[in-house]
Amino acid sequence: MKRIYLFLAMAGMLQTGFGQSKDKDINIPDLDNYKTLKCDFHIHTVFSDGLVWPTVRVDEAYSEGLDAIALTEHIEYRPHKDDIKADHNRSYEIIKQYAKDRDVILIKGSEITRSMAPGHHNAIFITDSNPLDTTDFKDAFNAAKSQKAFIFWNHPGWDAQQPEKTLWWDEHTYLYENGCMHGIEVANGKYYFPEAQQWCLDKKLTMIGTSDIHQPIQTDIDFNKGEHRTMTLVFAKERNAESIREALENRRTAVFVGDKIIGEEMWLKDLFDNAVKIENIEKKDKSVRITIYNDSDLRFYLKKIKHDPGITYFRDYEIKPNCRHTINVKLDSGIISGKIDFEVSNMLAKPGKGLDYQFRF
């Protein structure tokens, strides 16, 4: 009888309490017409080659203020299988309710894990992972497709599979042409793949960024230094799984990796518009002071581009998070209005090319 009492105690009955906070949340503004959801669609647990129990992934997501996650265990690579006996759906099942209780949207997924080509691909929004366990890679993709999966190519520039350069193989053409590739990881962990960004622009594929986390998250990400996991910003109509799907299908995403935000120009512009607001413009004879406020946790690096030669201002400028900035502009005689032109060099609209923007006065 004592022993039963013990187990109740363990299960929380007599545990005196517990707490949880969103202490690592990052404030990224919504767009004009869409909510900005912070999503990570590439995560591992002990059920494949990850190193934590599935619930830890929900706790981490909660603490970081993520809106949605997908556990994507490798189908073909399960190094702990001698000890962990479970089918491919199990880690999802374990946290289904746990995620719901913490209001973290959980999307079912799996990682099709093949040598190159075609390499590794995540299928998300699936309903059953087990049919993806096949001999031929094409069968695995077809099984995912038949479940209406959203499929993206993982870490296309991973040097273990692409040791010299980031190549597009025939197998990728096959997948693309057969409706089995809807997006590509433009960033995975700390790595950004410019070739993948260009492919997404050219082929109308969705840009994805993921942590691909295997370790406890704090082992890889030093939050105290202001680091964050690589994630996909999904610009969704509502905060739910269906809206995330709709946004992914319509390529309304950006990738947040390190201090860079990578995406299609229209979304980057919309995001900057909503992060940085002009608060005041103070005109004097031959000068103007523009006061802006960055009401976000994002940092922006500005770089002067081609501009009216009668208007003199910074060459480089850093807009800090949650910070009010005053920018001084010198005007040649006779100029009373105009604009300062710059590139937001850490918002990459194309490989090597920042977002063009201007402040008008």
Using CB under 8 A as the binding rule, the residues of this chain from 7 to 26 that contact a second copy are 7, 9-10, 12-23
In the complex, the smallest distance separating the C-beta of residue 148 from a second copy, rounded to whole angstroms, is: 27
Which of 35, 65, 80, 237 is close enough to bind a second copy by CB under 8 A? 80
Residues 251-280 that bind a second copy (CB under 8 A): none
Shortest distance in whole angstroms from residue 31 CB to a second copy: 23
Q: Is 76 in the site for a second copy (CB under 8 A)?
A: yes
Tell me which residues in 287-306 interact with a second copy (CB under 8 A): 287
Nearer to a second copy by Cβ, of 174 and 191: the residue is 191
Name every residue whose Cβ is closer than 8 Å to that of residue 203 and which is 6 or more positions away in sequence.
176
Amino acid at 322: N
For residue 11, the minimal CB distance to a second copy (Å) is: 8
Nearer to a second copy, 204 or 315 (CB): 315
CA–CA gap between residue 186 and residue 253 (Å, rounded) = 11
Comparing CB distances to a second copy, the nearer of 80 and 237 is 80
Euclidean distance between CA atoms 162 and 256, whole angstroms = 23
Task: Supply the minimum distance, in Å, between the C-beta of residue 92 and a second copy.
Answer: 13
Give the three-state DSSP class for 116: coil
β-pair partners for 37: 234
30/220 with CB nearer a second copy: 220
Parallel/antiparallel/unpaired status of strands 68-71 and 35-43: parallel
Q: Which candidate, 185, 234, 165, places its Cα nearest to that of 42? A: 185
Tally of CB atoms within 10 A around 65: 17
Q: Label the pairing between strands 183-188 and 150-153.
A: parallel
Tell me how far, at minimum, the Cβ of 222 lies from a second copy, in Å: 8
Region 212-241 residues binding a second copy, contact defined as CB under 8 A: 215-219, 222, 224-226
Q: Taking the complex as a whole, how short is the minimal distance between the CB of residue 152 and a second copy, in angstroms?
A: 19
Tokens of 227: 């680091």
Under the binding rule (CB under 8 A), the answer on residue 130 touching a second copy is no
Footprint (CB under 8 A) of a second copy, residues 35-74: 46-47, 49-53, 55-56, 59
Identify residues 83-122 at the interface with a second copy (CB under 8 A).
83-86, 90, 94, 113-115
Asked if 335 is part of the footprint of a second copy (rule: CB under 8 A), the reply reads no
Q: What's the Cα-to-Cα distance from 238 to each of 105, 138, 149, rounded to whole Å?
A: 12, 34, 20
Number of amino acids touching a second copy (CB under 8 A) = 78
For the CB of residue 83, give the shortest distance to a second copy in the complex, in Å.
Answer: 5
How many Cα atoms occupy the beta-carbon half-sphere of 187 within 13 Å? 26
* One residue of 35, 237, 325, 350 binding a second copy per CB under 8 A: 325
Establish if 312 lies at the interface with a second copy (CB under 8 A): yes
Axis crossing angle, helix 90-101 with helix 54-63, rounded to the nearest 10: 30
State how far Cα 43 lies from the chain centre: 12
Q: Is 281 in the site for a second copy (CB under 8 A)?
A: no
Q: Can you tell me the distance from the alpha carbon of 8 to that of 315, in angstroms, rounded to the nearest whole number?
A: 65
